[in-house]
Amino acid sequence: MSRKIIIDFDPGIDDALALCLLLFDPEWEVVAVTAVGGNVSPAIANRNVQALIAYLDPPRIPRIGVATAPDEGLPVEGRFANAVDDLREAELPVAELRTPHPSEKVLADEVRAAPHEVTVLALGPLTNLARAMQKDPDFPTLVHRIIIAGGAVQVPGNITPAAEFNIYCDPRAAKIVFASRAPKTLIPLDVTNRLSFSLSLLNDLPSEETKIGAFLRKILPAKFRAYRQQLGLETIHLHDTITYLAACRPDLLRYEMLAGDVESTGEITRGATIFDRRPVPAWRDNRLEVAMGIDAGAMRQEFFKRLRQAAEAAGPLTSPEDD
């Protein structure tokens, strides 16, 4: 029996890959896809979400939520070190939504419609989740679990020395989510950095004759270029895709329950995730399940297995009638 899930994200190459896998995963029923500004502006995030859903054409079309700007704007728009990209390489056509609904409304509606059943996979800044909690104070007790791609515990940040990108983008929102009563799992850089992918990934993608294979062959080279040009690296990380896999296979990670908070006002520590490891932590209500270890080899195998399954389920690039 499939489990209900909402993916809240800012696509983005890595996010788009995660969506490709999730939409065709029989373990999950994707009830909504909600856009948030982060890797790209809210307007581009909205365009990308609509284009991706139209291109992938999953068996069940999820509700779509549209992004609006965070209260303080996007502090890193245009200079994200790990490949700001609007998926333009894929040249996907876009049709505007006739009746757009804000992402926070879609989140609140779907969670209230199925109490304790909906998992939220948060792959971008936590703007929408914080707003959903403010819109519906019962949201934290109605959501099944929030799985967050973000934060850094014992490793440096990836946008500043102190902060990981998603948390840095909207630290006030992250602070609200961390302090909420919702069941929360954090997948930080400590584990997602443990998996890197070389250029051989391009050779291991599904056939270019499949819908997903053709799409990934267009967008992934841009991520490799950006990592090399901006970071001097020959390999890439797939933080968001690994977070999706963590939702599917939590047994492949090791977790600790930690009391965490977010620095929202620091001059050089904005967006830093801080964890109180004292015997009696001050932030007892801010407890999160934090991934601290990962079976990287098994997770890599899981990635390629689910990638093959998704490509097969999504089908060929063109139908027989188009030939």
Q: Of 8, 239, 240, 261, which is the active-site residue?
A: 239
124, exposed or middle or buried, with CB in 10 Å at 0-12, 13-18, 19+? Answer: buried
- Does residue 239 carry a catalytic annotation? yes
Q: Of 10, 14, 15, 261, which is the active-site residue?
A: 10
Q: Measured between alpha carbons, how far is 15 from 38 in angstroms, rounded to an integer?
A: 11
- Catalytic positions are 10, 239
